[in-house]
Amino acid sequence: MGYGLGFGGLFSSSYFLLVFIPAIILSLGAQFLVASAFGKWTKVRNRAGVTGEQAARRIIQTAGLQGVQLEGIAGVRTDHFDPSSNVVRMSQDVATTPSVAAMAVVAHELGHAQQYAEKSIFIQLRSFLVPAMQFSPMISYALILIGLLFNVAGFLQLGILFYGVVVAFMLLTLPVEIDASMRGLRLLNASGLMQDNDDVGGSRQVLTAAALTYVAAAVTALLNLLYYISLLSGRRR
């Protein structure tokens, strides 16, 4: 049974006002803060004078993360931890620059390494959803579009359920990233790399700005989900 949703429901003025425009504002605002924080603290030398790679090696030794390997990777702000190979990959600027931003970035990624080593509950919950994330986004969008195009509520409902998996993953990502940043700050302290106010304040600013990108993504996904639900429930009245 259809509910007369119509394809236009996805791109109505309500969608642009309630979802699209807020999402753009959030995304651009988060990107601006990240660019501003990195731009400022990449130019400020950390007091210890260590590059990102040197900071990572000191943290690995201090925190007992000897199994973690370090590799380079192309690009800008492409740094990440790969749990499948237990490797922290660092962009060239981070690996070779003795800046506050560089040591903050590697500390965050090693925070992820520590999460996996300690089997953090946040990591375990998110990892549980990783296989579903390989197909849920595409299936959800396809089902939602079919439901709207052909007024088939069953497809829309299924699409919303699959999209709910995406939203759950995004929401679980927030505590994972926040916890990794908090761990990163503790790792910097424990390894003796927090030596002055710039080290402390700059590291916090960089990691806070980076976390806001995940907040923006999660809020955007949640807004989309609520809008899809409103389309379905509105036609049922």
pLDDT, averaged per 10 consecutive residues of the chain (237 residues), comes to 45 83 95 96 98 98 96 95 97 97 98 96 91 92 88 88 95 95 97 97 97 95 93 66
Tally of CA atoms within 13 A in the half-sphere of 83 that contains its CB: 15
With beta carbons less than 8 A apart as the criterion, state whether 53 and 96 touch: yes
Closest to 232 in 3D by CA, of 141, 165, 156: 156
What is residue 188's predicted lDDT score, i.e. its pLDDT? 98
109 is catalytic: yes
Q: Which amino acid type is present at position 154?
A: G
Rounded to whole angstroms, the Cα distance separating 128 from 130 reads 6
What is residue 101's predicted lDDT score, i.e. its pLDDT? 98
What is residue 177's predicted lDDT score, i.e. its pLDDT? 96
What is residue 233's predicted lDDT score, i.e. its pLDDT? 77
Q: Which amino acid type is present at position 106?
A: V
Rounded to whole angstroms, the Cα distance separating 182 from 67 reads 21
What is residue 7's predicted lDDT score, i.e. its pLDDT? 46
What is residue 183's predicted lDDT score, i.e. its pLDDT? 97
With beta carbons less than 8 A apart as the criterion, state whether 59 and 187 touch: yes
Cβ-based neighbour number of residue 201 at 10 Å: 13
Q: How do the domains of the chain map onto residue ranges? A: 7-236
Choice among 53, 71, 109, 118 that is catalytic: 109
